[in-house]
Structure 1
Amino acid sequence: MFPTPIEKRSRQWQLGYQALLPVVLVIWLLPLIAVAIFSIKPEADFVNGNYWGMPSSFEMFTNYGKVFFESDMPRYLLNSVFITVPTVIGAVILSSMTGFALGVYRFRGNLLIFFMFIAGNFVPFQILMVPVRDLTLNLGLYDTKMGLILFHVAFQTGFCTLFMRNFIRQLPFALIEAARVEGVSEWRIFVYVVLPLMKPALAALSVLIFTFIWNDYFWAIVLTQGPDSQPVTAGITSFNSQFRSAYHLMSAGSIVAALPPVAMFFLMQKHFIAGLTLGAVK
């Protein structure tokens, strides 16, 4: 039913696996490698059609200098920080409380409410583009960072609740019962008993949501416009004009925009893996 681990395969299989793995890895990373190469090429290479050849000159410092000092990229990066961090905090806090309620308490309609959270994850978000945009206009939230934050929190809470509820269901319920016997209030049980045990899940979920929100492009262009509130994913397109596309600057901006989530993952890698694998082995 399950594939045989490579360690238990024959020597020929192991050698083939070791030979093909670097090739597959390079193919998988080829788009990112291409963007990194484009980011150090001069604009003349794109005008002359030198897309895949060696750069005619090394323009890394020039291109990245223009991205940081001759464009609105620093403002777009700050917008992404001001949008992503509150969204992660809000989604994690709400999902922790809803996950606790759905995972610990037994009441009529528990599964129905839980299925409603799950069902929201299967709705194609593209069909919500027009009503969500009209709602932001009616509420005065269009082209504001607060509008993006609120709607990101709303859209991410369903997945986060699914994640948290399933994690809390794996915790030893005897700890909660013991706290109740001692007369501890439900709020203090949540804060002092459950939350400390949820640290791996909180770390893993924070990394996931940070990556989702930071890399979001769809809602960034639907609900915002201009450097006052647009995040960096939408701000990269500002290097394009009606008759000219600065691919070298767009590539440099894409590399800069990709660094924060990559750094976030490596900083939280230990907690991220622990949160995803906790409970996988009895």
Structure 2
Amino acid sequence: MYPRQIPESRPASRLLYVTGVWAVLLLWLMPVFAIILTAFRTFEDVMAGNYWGWPTEINFRGNLTAVFTQTDMLDYFVNSLIITIPSTVLVLVLSTMTGYVLSRHRFAGATLIFSVFIAGNFLPQQVFMIPVRDLMVSLGLYDTFGALIIFHVAFQTGFATLFMRNFIAALPHELFQAARAEGASPWQILIQIVVPLVRPALAALAILLFTFIWNDYFWAIVLTQTDAVKPVTAGLANLRGEWVSSWNVVSAATLFVAIPPVVMFFLMQRHFVAGLTMGAVKG
């Protein structure tokens, strides 16, 4: 059931609705504003308790310089790229193939396989913590990039398969019939017909996957131990001091870490909306 549009004959209700939307938006953005303001403050300003007021002195350049000279954030940043990019690409490839098979090929057990793919998304991640850690230790992959890549690919493929299956199922059946009549193989249909048609969906899914994997913190601390393989989320936690934390430097590092997902969204935003609505009419 979807909310009905408020008619123009009820201006009080429309005003109340708009006011509520702006209030929720400002409440949601308040932590972001606090981080931005803190990134511009000096250490003395933070220690003085000036958390919400205008910075007494602008020191953003000095804070950003400290991020690269006094911390290992650049190494953590590279580690996140090494983990996130291969994981995203592999999930896109696997989910496209599985989504194509489950939506266009009928075989015994297809429903059961699809149910298994999506069942893991309904379980809390903490349930998998000890089994996954023990598995990576037994495979000799604990505290390596491979451990995080393998887990993210395995865990995100279920959601991505559900995502891609709905998009591919929404494609006209006549396209596949015509391709088979021309003698195209399943691989040719997938590569030459399905992939070009679902590019908006792939772009939208790529943004979601990149953001999920880049922002992951739980598995970053479960499957890694040394700084050599930690991503930026675990690296940010390392910036806190034992007795005193330079929150101005931490905030500047946080803004630096947020750049890749934001840039990726703006590069693909025209595909994002099209991708999210492309398969919305058919499951």
TM-score (norm 2): 0.94
- Looking at structure 2, the residues matched to 50 and 15 of structure 1 have their Cα atoms a distance apart, in angstroms, of 34
* Partner of residue 49, structure 1: 49
- Looking at structure 2, the residues matched to 269 and 158 of structure 1 have their Cα atoms a distance apart, in angstroms, of 24
- Shift in Å, 1:139: 1.2
- Shift in Å, 1:9: 5.5
* Partner of residue 104, structure 1: 104
Deviations 1:146-202 (A, max 9, x none): 211111000000000111111111111111111111111111111111111111111
- Shift in Å, 1:137: 1.4
* Partner of residue 263, structure 1: 263
* Partner of residue 31, structure 1: 31
- Looking at structure 1, the residues matched to 38 and 7 of structure 2 have their Cα atoms a distance apart, in angstroms, of 39
Q: Which amino acid aligns with 2:100?
A: F
* Partner of residue 201, structure 1: 201
Label 1:272 to 1:54 Cα distance change in 2 as closer, same or farther (>3 A).
Answer: same
Q: Which amino acid aligns with 1:183?
A: G
Q: Tell whether 2:237 aligns with 1:237.
A: yes
- Looking at structure 2, the residues matched to 48 and 187 of structure 1 have their Cα atoms a distance apart, in angstroms, of 64
- Looking at structure 1, the residues matched to 86 and 137 of structure 2 have their Cα atoms a distance apart, in angstroms, of 22
Label 1:7 to 1:232 Cα distance change in 2 as closer, same or farther (>3 A).
Answer: farther
Label 1:236 to 1:182 Cα distance change in 2 as closer, same or farther (>3 A).
Answer: same
Deviations 1:18-60 (A, max 9, x none): 4443333221100110111111111123333333333232111
- Looking at structure 2, the residues matched to 190 and 280 of structure 1 have their Cα atoms a distance apart, in angstroms, of 21
- Looking at structure 2, the residues matched to 233 and 170 of structure 1 have their Cα atoms a distance apart, in angstroms, of 37
Q: Tell whether 2:227 aligns with 1:227.
A: yes
Confirm or deny: 8 A CA contact 2:118 2:158 kept in the other structure.
Answer: yes
SS in structure 1 at match of 2:122: coil
Which is worse superposed, 260-269 or 83-92? 260-269
Confirm or deny: 8 A CA contact 2:92 2:206 kept in the other structure.
Answer: yes
- Looking at structure 2, the residues matched to 207 and 13 of structure 1 have their Cα atoms a distance apart, in angstroms, of 36
* Runs of at least 5 residues in structure 1 that lack an aligned partner in the other structure: none
The RMSD of aligned alpha carbons is 1.7
- Shift in Å, 1:225: 2.6
* Partner of residue 15, structure 1: 15
* Partner of residue 146, structure 1: 146
Deviations 1:111-146 (A, max 9, x none): 011111111111111111111112111211111112
- Looking at structure 1, the residues matched to 197 and 38 of structure 2 have their Cα atoms a distance apart, in angstroms, of 46
* Partner of residue 248, structure 1: 248
- Looking at structure 2, the residues matched to 280 and 5 of structure 1 have their Cα atoms a distance apart, in angstroms, of 20
SS in structure 1 at match of 2:52: coil
- Shift in Å, 1:8: 4.8
* Runs of at least 5 residues in structure 2 that lack an aligned partner in the other structure: none
- Shift in Å, 1:238: 1.8
- Looking at structure 2, the residues matched to 125 and 147 of structure 1 have their Cα atoms a distance apart, in angstroms, of 15
Sequence identity of aligned pairs in percent? 51
Q: Which amino acid aligns with 2:26?
A: V
- Shift in Å, 1:78: 0.9
Which is worse superposed, 240-249 or 5-14? 5-14
Q: Tell whether 2:191 aligns with 1:191.
A: yes
- Shift in Å, 1:266: 1.3
Which is worse superposed, 243-252 or 11-20? 11-20
